[in-house]
Amino acid sequence: MQNVFSRPKGLTELPFHYCPGCTHGIIHRLIGEVLAELNIIEDTIGVAPVGCAGFSLDFFSCDFVGAAHGRAQAVATGIKRALPEKLVFTYQGDGDICAIGTSHAIHVAARAEKITSIMVNNAVFGMTGGQMAPTTLDGQITTTSPYGRDCNVVGSPIDLPKIIATMQGAAYVAAVSVDSPKNILAAKKAIKKGFQVQQAGLGFAFISILSTCPTNWGLSPVDSIKWLQQHMLPVYQMGELKLPEEGRNHD
């Protein structure tokens, strides 16, 4: 019998622990496929965040380091500077990279740090139980914005890819989503480019991925996808926000 579908080599055999309908699993698989297709599993060191994806270090088959909350990009910088020939990526939630980790997000881009960062944006803090994040939408109800986010009081959502795209050291910035098969394929392409940009030594690569949190949104998996499409896609700028300049040479 022909094997038409199997677990990518970039993932370990360990079953995911994520909630039903959570899109971490899809994103994990995409990264696992990219690691295998680029044949870089043995040359890659990942950095895990704090939050639901804190256990991602068990799911990928490359070496992995667990960072403190928000610090993954600083840790990745240390790894990359020590091992410039290896590939280093961070996997972070929006609560991790857009709140406590903001300064590191800005400065890895400023330094053109040759790492790849993947942000999984579900508009809430997930593991702690659905609190308001910098990415929470206007009017969105969370446990710490029980009457809905009031932008007059706490400001508007941060669109981090847009900020990072303005920075010279950011070689590749993409904002993608995993709400449909078409978008999932586009997300995989972006992730792959993010690693290839690092391989070419062009600078910092940043991929933001819109994601769901059925548990904390209080919605079914299917309704969560609809909510993402109705509420998140119109707010966050999507697409490839920055591409490496043709023939740009940093050497």
- State the residues that interact with another protein by CB under 8 A: 12, 41-45, 47-48, 54, 57-58, 60-68, 71, 74-83, 86, 103-104, 106-107
In the complex, the smallest distance separating the C-beta of residue 158 from another protein, rounded to whole angstroms, is 18
Minimum distance from CB of 89 to another protein (Å)? 12
Nearest 5°: phi and psi at 46? -95, 155
> Which CB, 100 or 154, lies closer to another protein?
100
From the CB of 71, what's the least distance to another protein, in Å? Answer: 4
User: What's the min distance (Å) between Cβ of 157 and another protein?
Assistant: 23
Minimum CB–partner distance for residue 78 and another protein (Å): 3
Tokens of 211: 């994601």
How many residues can be counted in the chain? 251
Q: DSSP string spanning 68-105?
A: PTT-HHHHHHHHHHH-TTSEEEEEEEHHIIIIITHHHH
Please list, residue by residue across 83-118, b when 16 or more beta carbons sit within 10 angstroms of its beta carbon and e when fewer do.
Answer: eeebbbbbbbbbbbbbbbbeebbbbbbeebbbbbbb
Which is nearer to another protein, 60 or 227 (by Cβ)? 60
Dist. CA 147–CA 214, nearest whole Å: 19
Q: How far are the Cα atoms of 142, 184, 210 from residue 106, in angstroms, in the given order?
A: 27, 27, 20
Question: From the CB of 178, what's the least distance to another protein, in Å?
Answer: 25
Closest to another protein by CB, 61 vs 142, is 61
Closest CA to 135 of 171, 167, 105: 105
Closest to another protein by CB, 115 vs 197, is: 115
C-alpha dihedral sign at 105, 111, 112, 116: negative
Angle at 28 (CA atoms; ends 119, 6), nearest 5 degrees = 160
